[in-house]
């Protein structure tokens, strides 16, 4: 907000302005993100477009969109609206290449659902389009933006409390119902061909990279016999990431099991566990546990200490914090004098997508290890 006593020139340089969002499509996840756009203090929901204007109108009404929200009967109309700064793209992954590139060419900043692309080759076209058009790119990995994530990372980075990372185990599973397993875009080879790997696995891979402070592994191996549906889309898969220094991460992602989302990171001196890393049990506060230098009492009868629970409050839901962060970056480009978009987020997307590619390649090669090169 511009303070009344500042001059116009200073205000233009420092002001936080509102990033006006357009949404492409009426995906289920857009309900959550449209709420986040409304909750975030530096963004507004400006428009939604669908291939059917009737569908867009019904969706906007059903989800309580502000009455000022413009309703469009095509994605292109959203991109052509000069009042829109940024678009949120929750379309099926197979449509990302086309629509993200088009949005970037129309100078719209892009928040895109994960996985951002079907593979790194596509993602590189997307990221290049964003870069040459000077627009911010970010994928929709919400847990990155919860304050808990930073506090957990501080623990992992503490050489006294955690030491060096040695192993990560992560999982994300949920028990999809028969409707999902038959009709959801995430089981369709022409829409989200990466299936459980691109959806649930994306989070596990990001977690493994996050725990390793985003150092890429040397190679990745898919574990044998992933489960696919009748048209070849992955429903459940395990993989391992292997770093140069010997640390190892394994993950399990699946549409076929009870909702579970774990990271266990084990270091030379400490252990961190979180069991709701993707979506915290509750919005207002989230917890994790740590223990350092655990050992046994005399005769190995008991432990010298139990893990401690840490609770982190969040003033906004993590998806609103995502929107806030994204909008601040957009604002910095628009008004704050940022010379170029923030490169952190496209880099994290690309590293995660590289591992996705490597897991797919390992499956294709009969579960051989696949080297990872940035």
Which residue, 109 or 324, is less far from a second copy as judged by CB? Answer: 324
DSSP labels, 210-260? HHTTTPPPSEEEEPS--EE-TTS-EEEEEEEEE-TTS-EEEEEEESEEEEE
Query: Dihedrals φ, ψ of 344, to 5°?
Result: -55, -45
**Between residues 236 and 353, which has the closer beta carbon with respect to a second copy?**
236
Least gap, CB of 271 to a second copy (angstroms)? 5
Minimum gap (Å) between residue 224 Cβ and a second copy: 6
**In whole angstroms, how close is the CB of 86 to a second copy at the nearest point?**
21
70 labelled catalytic: no
Strands (E), 279-353: 285-292, 308-313
Nearer to a second copy, 126 or 241 (CB): 241
Which among 70, 114, 247, 324 is annotated as catalytic? 114
Contact footprint for a second copy (CB under 8 A): 29, 31-32, 35, 163, 166-167, 169, 171, 173-175, 219, 221, 223-225, 227, 236, 238, 240, 242, 246, 248, 250, 252, 254, 256-260, 262, 264, 266-271, 273, 275-276, 279-283, 291-296, 299-303, 306-307, 317, 369
What gap in Å lies between CA 65 and CA 157, rounded to an integer? 41
Q: 32-71: b or e for each residue (b if 16 or more CB lie within 10 Å)? A: bbbbbbbebebbbbbbbbbeeeeebbebbeebebeeebbb
Nearer to a second copy, 14 or 268 (CB): 268
What is the nearest approach in angstroms of a second copy to the Cβ of residue 140?
12
Taking the least distance from each CB to a second copy, the nearer of 1 and 301 is 301
- Listed in sequence order, the residues at least 6 apart from 170 whose beta carbon sits closer than 8 Å to its beta carbon are 203, 204, 207, 208, 249, 250, 251, 252, 262, 263, 264
| Minimum separation from the CB atom of position 25 to a second copy (A) | 16
Distance CA 241, CA 206 (A): 12
Angle at 53 between CA 50 and CA 59, to 5 degrees: 70
Enumerate the active-site residues.
Answer: 114
């Amino acid at each position: 907000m511009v303070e009344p006593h500042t001059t116009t020139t200073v205000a233009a340089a420092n002001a936080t302005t509102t990033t006006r969002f357009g949404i492409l499509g009426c995906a289920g996840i857009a309900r959550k993100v449209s709420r986040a756009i409304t909750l975030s203090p530096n963004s507004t929901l400006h428009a939604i477009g669908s291939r059917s204007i009737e569908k867009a109108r019904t969706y906007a009404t059903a989800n309580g969109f502000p009455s000022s929200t413009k309703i469009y009967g095509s994605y292109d109309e959203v991109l052509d609206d000069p009042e829109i700064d940024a678009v949120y793209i929750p379309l099926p992954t197979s449509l990302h290449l086309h629509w993200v590139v088009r949005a970037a060419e129309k100078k719209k900043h892009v928040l895109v659902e994960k996985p951002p692309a079907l593979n790194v080759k596509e993602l590189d076209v997307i990221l290049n389009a964003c870069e040459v058009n000077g627009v911010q790119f970010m994928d929709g990995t919400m847990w990155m933006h919860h304050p808990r994530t930073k506090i957990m990372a501080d623990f992992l980075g503490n050489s006294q409390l955690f030491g060096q990372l040695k192993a990560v185990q992560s999982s994300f599973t949920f028990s999809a119902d028969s409707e999902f397993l038959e009709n959801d875009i995430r089981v369709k080879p022409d829409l989200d061909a990466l299936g459980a790997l691109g959806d649930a696995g994306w989070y596990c891979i990001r977690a493994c990279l996050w725990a390793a402070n985003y150092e890429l592994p040397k190679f990745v191996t898919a574990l044998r016999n992933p489960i696919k549906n009748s048209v070849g889309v992955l429903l459940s898969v395990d993989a391992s990431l292997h770093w140069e220094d010997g640390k190892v991460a394994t993950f399990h992602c699946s549409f076929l099991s009870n909702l579970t989302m774990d990271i266990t990171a084990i270091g030379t001196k400490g252990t961190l566990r979180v069991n709701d890393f993707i979506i915290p049990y509750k919005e207002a506060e989230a917890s994790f546990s740590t223990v350092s230098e655990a050992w046994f009492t005399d005769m190995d009868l008991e432990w010298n200490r139990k893990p401690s629970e840490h609770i982190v409050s969040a003033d906004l839901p993590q998806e609103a914090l995502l929107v806030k962060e994204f909008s601040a970056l957009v604002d910095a480009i628009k008004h704050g004098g940022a010379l170029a978009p923030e490169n952190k987020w496209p880099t994290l997307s690309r590293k995660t997508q590289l591992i996705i590619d490597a897991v797919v390649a390992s499956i294709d090669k009969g579960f051989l290890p696949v080297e990872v090169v940035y």
